[in-house]
Chain A
Amino acid sequence: MEPFSHPNHGKYKVIGTRPIRHDGEDKVTGRALYGADVSFPDLLHGFVLRSPHAHARIRKLDTSKAEALPGVFAVTTAVDLPRLDDKIVSSGEGMENQKYLSDHILASDKALFIGHPIAAVAATDPWIAQEAVALIEVEYEVLDQVTDPDKAMADGAPLLHEKMTTTILGQKEAKPSNICNHTRFECGDLEAGFAEADLVFDREFRTRTVHQGYVEPHTATALARSDGQVTVWSSTQGPFRTREQVAAVLKRDLSKIRVIPMEIGGGFGGKIPVYLEPLAVLLSEKSGRPVKLVMSRADVFQASGPAPAAVSKLKLGFKSDGTITAGKVWMAYEAGAFPGTWGSTGALCVLAPYRVPHALVDVYDVLTNTPKVAAYRAPSSPQALFGVESIMDEAAQELGLDPIDLRLKNGAVEGDSRVDGQKWSRIGFLETLDAAKNSPHYKSPPPSGPNQARATSIGYWFNAGMQSSATVGINMDGTASVVTGSVDIGGSRASMAIMAAETLGLSAEEVRPVVGDTESIGHTDVTAGSRTTFATGYAVYMAATEALEKMRPRVAKLWDCPVEEVNFEEGAFRHAKGKHDPMTVREVAPKLPMTGGPVQGQSSVQPKQVGASFAVDIADIEVDPETGKVTILRYTVVQDVGTAIHPAYVEGQMIGGTVQGIGWALNEEYVRDEEGRMINTGFLDYRVPTALDAPDIETIMVEVPNPGHPYGVRGVGETTVVPPLSTLHNAIARATGVRIRNLPMSPPRVQAALAEQTARPVPASD
């Protein structure tokens, strides 16, 4: 499409306003229906038996006593799942071997993580279901387990999948190992690049497993009929993707399965994979009744998909004027119990914000006896950029440069190549840096008390495009309905209404946005990847434009003129020579029956000119040397948001992502005992930021429109989780002289780092 040049940019009527979201009243009155709110008179309650061992062979599994318990109507184990071929497929989350899909849903010969489902039952009440599960007899042969990615890579580590060898593109390594994926990018001449450097930093960093922390646990209800038709009500980020996964695991045609997405209580990437849906379907098929499953909070932590722990060894070279000359990256990401390829995304991210002419990047995905990892807001980027942004700050300190100036010097612009060879499209990195430099926060005097400091850091996410469908129906009174396949996690349906309204010359209130299901709208990929306002919005624009195009000949009929003389401009159909008064959509609609019948626009798109989004954070903090607690005194987030369709929800994404990043930086981690068991499986001890922990956050939106979207939209949702990790790390370093390269920088770790520092004769970076 043509470069962005929408005639109304800057003069939009609806885009940029803040209408109340159409689903808002139901959500503040408790009427909105989420997954667990589904009910039927004959509903059965499901319960899952999960492995208590991180790594064990299943020697015997006897469900007979459970089946015999009165009130139990179905029991399912892996024998009920069809055998899937050994076949690599593109899952929408990278490469996966589908033979692992069924094992993930129900363990066959081995339990590979604590929480791994072994069996499931359905009973008339939750207490009978729990009692039934306790009656299932399992004989485990406990095996050695490994939960750290670097230990799992070592020779002699216990192997999770004995026959699995590293797959590198098409080739397999000879020796079985836990390394399921290796990605390498190489450009220039690394040795020459480091030789040019005046200053080289060689550092190691470590982050721990964290969870997306959505407040609504996973839930699925299924009703299977004897003719094979299945309906699933699910808390999912994408009904079409859920349907595909259920169909793949159970080997069914897609047309036999209808997935209805309920309102969803948070996802952040964690509700893209399915866990419960196939179990609910199997139990419903065996019992002939609807079956509901809800994960407990402990199960959510232990058996859904957290974000991977990572180890990184980074070497960056700088000239004395701050120019980056070379970069060497080695990273290992936790994959969990089944192979995945998030590390390859990390490899794409790690050096991407900067021009690095000579680079070698090696990133590994490593199997561990922990739950298979899933996406979490800009997946793999926080772990990758944490270390790079720490080194950038160290370099700024050592070279005596303003940290924002150092980024401005090296920051990528349109046309710059990344280490993987691709070139950046139009991005707003430098504009965002400039806005941060000129912000009231940055211009104010930094905090100067003891153990206080200011620091800055950056983050970004590429964002995704993928597939979306939309229909725009013109009602008989000229109001409109917009149906999309995009689950609304954060207010996106309001943005769909806004974009349709802008296109049709209506108000947001005159457009009714609807989230469809797999039977009522064309294929739409997940609400994730910061793609919804971009790609689904694109489909909405195209569908609305098609509706207008279909109305042009109708107006021509009314005006008895050639259709070429009718144009839609400034919110109305206008005659090219001004021979007729303009007609709005509301005026044309009642005439549709007499001029040819109803009008609906439809569009299915796969837009590729995605715009990445950059953010720059500024934090003022104070460290309490006695307790190790970090108090945030002031925090500002500056982000390139493309075009803010609904500014309040854009601000909401910026603030929400930042607070998640703050939790990741300062407190959140999976604490595991010697058996690899997570011991903080609740929100008390897996402490996500509360209202009292979260600082007030100032937001500055920079708008660099994305040429690849009719309204200049860039995805915004994911980027802001990235910068807080390094921003707070940099601030702690500047406040105390200690670089804590080990996340989270929780009070005990800060205390220990400070104690170690005072024990040494000179302040040292750890």
Chain B
Amino acid sequence: MSSATKRIITAKVNGAELTLAIDNRMTLLQALRDAAGLTGTKEGCLTGDCGACSVLMNGRVVDSCLVMAAEAEDAELTTVEGLADGTHLHPLQQRFLERAALQCGICTPGLLVAAKSLLDRNPNPTDHEIRYWLAGNLCRCTGYKQIIEAVQDAATDMRAGK
């Protein structure tokens, strides 16, 4: 790539400061996957309609395919790779496994990030509130029922301090 379009950005990603060489034309999704090697966040549509690329940026769920990488300068980002605490899975991750809330798994990273964002704000959501919050994350395999159940289980865990 030509040097005219290159830039260095620094951001806090999953709690650690990362310095990345990016191209100005890169989206945050590309920067995470190709520059930082964090391939957990997935590409589904590149138009912000499927949510597979969801990450938390300064506390908000965003479709990283719609954010320019350069916008992430000084931002605080959480991706699926940052949900577990070392070897201790986040309750959402654990409950997704127990409830079989994933089949192919491609939507799972985005869903986990979006669900975490919900539970951070609303520790006791109704099923409808969960469905509403996750409506921006498409899943074509599961039909969503087991996902909703997993989020409820995780909410219960988190309210109990797990």
**Stretch of A28-36, A152-160, A509-517, A623-631 lying at the B interface:** A28-36
Contacts A29-B93, A31-B40 given: A491-B106 contact, CB under 8 Å?
A: no
- Chain A at the B interface: mostly helix, strand, loop or mixed? loop
On whether the beta carbons of A659 and B89 are closer than 8 Å, the reply is: no
On whether the beta carbons of A214 and B100 are closer than 8 Å, the reply is: no
On whether the beta carbons of A682 and B45 are closer than 8 Å, the reply is: yes
* Interface status of A196 (Cβ within 8 A of chain B): no
* Interface status of A729 (Cβ within 8 A of chain B): no
Q: Which of B1, B46, B108 contacts A27, CB < 8 Å?
A: B108
- Number of A interface residues in the complex (CB < 8 A): 61
On whether the beta carbons of A684 and B47 are closer than 8 Å, the reply is: yes
Interface residues of A in 668-716 (CB under 8 A from B): 682-684, 688-694, 696-697
* Interface status of B157 (Cβ within 8 A of chain A): no
On whether the beta carbons of A216 and B44 are closer than 8 Å, the reply is: yes
Interface residues of B in 79-125 (CB under 8 A from A): 79-81, 83-84, 89, 93, 96-100, 102-109, 112
On whether the beta carbons of A215 and B102 are closer than 8 Å, the reply is: no
Contacts A216-B104, A652-B103, A659-B144 given: A692-B135 contact, CB under 8 Å?
A: yes
On whether the beta carbons of A125 and B1 are closer than 8 Å, the reply is: yes
* Interface status of B28 (Cβ within 8 A of chain A): no
Docked pose: A18 CA to B136 CA in angstroms:
29
On whether the beta carbons of A125 and B127 are closer than 8 Å, the reply is: no
* Interface status of A535 (Cβ within 8 A of chain B): no
Contacts A30-B39, A30-B80, A658-B143 given: A297-B47 contact, CB under 8 Å?
A: yes
On whether the beta carbons of A29 and B144 are closer than 8 Å, the reply is: no
* Interface status of B134 (Cβ within 8 A of chain A): yes
On whether the beta carbons of B138 and A692 are closer than 8 Å, the reply is: no
On whether the beta carbons of B106 and A34 are closer than 8 Å, the reply is: yes
Q: Which of B44, B46, B144 contacts A691, CB < 8 Å?
A: B144
Contacts A21-B97, A655-B145, A691-B130 given: A215-B106 contact, CB under 8 Å?
A: yes
On whether the beta carbons of B42 and A28 are closer than 8 Å, the reply is: no
Interface residues of A in 22-47 (CB under 8 A from B): 24-25, 27-34, 36-37, 39
* Interface status of A201 (Cβ within 8 A of chain B): no
A-B pair count, CB < 8 Å, reads 188
Residues of A within 8 A of B107 (CB): 215, 265
Interface residues of B in 38-83 (CB under 8 A from A): 38-47, 49-50, 52, 79-81, 83
On whether the beta carbons of B138 and A694 are closer than 8 Å, the reply is: no
On whether the beta carbons of B103 and A489 are closer than 8 Å, the reply is: yes
Contacts A214-B104, A490-B103 given: A265-B42 contact, CB under 8 Å?
A: yes
Docked pose: A646 CA to B100 CA in angstroms:
10
Residues of B within 8 A of A199 (CB): none
On whether the beta carbons of A490 and B49 are closer than 8 Å, the reply is: no
On whether the beta carbons of A25 and B104 are closer than 8 Å, the reply is: no
B123 CB to nearest A CB, Å: 19
Which of B45, B107, B112 has most chain A Cβ within 10 Å? B45
On whether the beta carbons of A266 and B43 are closer than 8 Å, the reply is: no
Residues of B within 8 A of A651 (CB): 100, 146
Docked pose: A265 CA to B84 CA in angstroms:
22
Residues of A within 8 A of B89 (CB): 25, 28-29
Contacts A691-B134, A692-B131 given: A656-B47 contact, CB under 8 Å?
A: no
On whether the beta carbons of A25 and B103 are closer than 8 Å, the reply is: no
On whether the beta carbons of A683 and B138 are closer than 8 Å, the reply is: yes
B122 CB to nearest A CB, Å: 15
Q: Which of B33, B39, B93, B103 contacts A491, CB < 8 Å?
A: B103
Residues of A within 8 A of B134 (CB): 690-691
* Interface status of A660 (Cβ within 8 A of chain B): yes
On whether the beta carbons of B49 and A27 are closer than 8 Å, the reply is: no
Docked pose: A21 CA to B89 CA in angstroms:
15
On whether the beta carbons of A20 and B135 are closer than 8 Å, the reply is: no
Residues of B within 8 A of A648 (CB): 99-100, 146
Docked pose: A34 CA to B106 CA in angstroms:
8
Which of A18, A30, A31, A268 has most chain B Cβ within 10 Å? A30
Docked pose: A125 CA to B109 CA in angstroms:
26
Residue in chain A with minimal CB distance to B34: A39
* Interface status of B25 (Cβ within 8 A of chain A): yes
Docked pose: A659 CA to B49 CA in angstroms:
18
On whether the beta carbons of B135 and A30 are closer than 8 Å, the reply is: no
A486 CB to nearest B CB, Å: 14
Residue in chain A with minimal CB distance to B131: A691
Docked pose: A289 CA to B48 CA in angstroms:
32
Residues of B within 8 A of A21 (CB): 97, 100
Residues of B within 8 A of A29 (CB): 40, 80-81, 83-84, 89, 93
User: A267-B104, A648-B146 are known contacts; what are 19 more A-B pairs with Cβ within 8 Å?
Assistant: A30-B81, A215-B42, A215-B44, A215-B106, A217-B45, A266-B106, A266-B141, A297-B44, A297-B47, A490-B104, A491-B100, A649-B103, A655-B144, A655-B146, A658-B143, A690-B135, A691-B130, A691-B139, A692-B131
| A-B contacts, 12 listed (Cβ < 8 Å) | A21-B97, A24-B96, A29-B80, A29-B83, A30-B80, A34-B42, A36-B33, A127-B1, A489-B141, A683-B49, A688-B138, A688-B140
CB-CB nearest 4 A-B residue pairs: A30-B40, A265-B106, A659-B143, A655-B143
